[in-house]
Amino acid sequence: MKNQVNHLLPVALMLLLGGMTFWLQYAIESSPPTESANKSHVPDAIGKKVAIARLNLQGVTQYHLRADSMAHFPDDDSMELTAPRFIKNGIDAEFTVTANRGVVNQEIKEARFYDNVQLVRRPLSGDSLQIHTQYMQVFMELGIARTDRAVTIVNGTSTLSGTGMEYERDTGRLSLLSAVKGSFHVQKN
C-alpha cells in the first residue's frame, strides 16, 4: 500500500501544478488592462497631406484644416499636425493660422499652434492684419485666438508688439495684455 501512495504523490503534484498553470493563464488573460497600458500615447492612424472640412447643418463649409502630416492618438482623441493651416472664411475677411506644428482636440473645436505661428486676417478691402508669435490657442468655431507669449502685430505700415494677446475674429477686437510698444504710420492724402 505504501508503494501505491509513493506512485500517486508525483501524479497528484503534477495535476495540481497543471491546474494552477491553467488558472494563472486564465487570470492573466481575463484581467482588465492596467491604467498605464490605457494611457500609452501611441498613434492609431497616420496620414500625409491631410485636409479636414467642417460643415454646418446646411452643408456650407465653416472652416478648413490642412496639414502636411497628421497622427491621431486614441488615448486622448487628439491629433498632432505638422505644418498645419487653419482657414476660416467670414463674410468680410479670410482668417488663416499657420505654424510649424499643432495639436487639435477631439472635437476639432480647439487647436494649439506651436513654433513660427502666424495669424493673418485678409479683409475684402484694406490692409491685412498679421500676428506673429511662437504659440497660439485657437477656438475654431468661436473665432477666438489667444497667446501668453511675445507677439508682433503688423497692420499695413503700423506695428505693435507686446506679451499676451486675445483676438476676436467676429468683432475684430484685439487686446494686448502687457509690455505694449508700437509705431503707427498715417498715410497723408
Q: Which residue has the higher pLDDT, 182 or 36?
A: 182
The per-residue pLDDT for range 125-170, each reduced to its tens digit, is: 777 889 999 999 998 778 889 999 999 999 888 899 999 999 887 7
The per-residue pLDDT for range 25-79, each reduced to its tens digit, is: 777 776 565 555 456 778 888 899 999 888 878 888 878 889 999 999 888 888 9
Residue 160 lies in a domain: yes
Do 22 and 93 lie in one domain? The reply is no
The mean per-residue pLDDT over the stretch 9-13 comes to 71
Whole-angstrom distance, CA of residue 89 vs CA of residue 43: 31
Do 173 and 88 lie in one domain? The reply is yes
Do 19 and 92 lie in one domain? The reply is no
The mean per-residue pLDDT over the stretch 122-127 comes to 77
- pLDDT number for residue 121: 86
Do 87 and 160 lie in one domain? The reply is yes
Do 6 and 80 lie in one domain? The reply is no
Phi-psi region of 59 (alpha: psi -120 to 50; beta: other; left: phi over 0): left
Do 59 and 106 lie in one domain? The reply is yes
- pLDDT number for residue 17: 73
Cβ-based neighbours of 74, under 8 Å, separated by 6 or more: 44
Residue 95 lies in a domain: yes
Do 141 and 167 lie in one domain? The reply is yes
The mean per-residue pLDDT over the stretch 8-23 comes to 73
Total structural domains within the chain: 2
Do 12 and 103 lie in one domain? The reply is no
Do 155 and 119 lie in one domain? The reply is yes
Q: Do residues 90 and 68 lie in contact, with contact meaning Cβ atoms separated by under 8 Å?
A: no
Residue 34 lies in a domain: no
Do 141 and 88 lie in one domain? The reply is yes
Residue 135 CA neighbour count, 13 Å, CB half = 7
- pLDDT number for residue 30: 66
Do 18 and 107 lie in one domain? The reply is no
Q: Which of the given ranges, 27-31, 37-41, 110-114, 178-182, has the highest pLDDT on average?
A: 110-114
Do 94 and 8 lie in one domain? The reply is no
Q: Which residue has the higher pLDDT, 9 or 146?
A: 146
Residue 1 scores a pLDDT above 60: no
Q: Which residue has the higher pLDDT, 118 or 34?
A: 118
Residue 136 sits in which domain range?
45-183
CATH number at residue 109: 2.60.450.10
Residue 39 lies in a domain: no
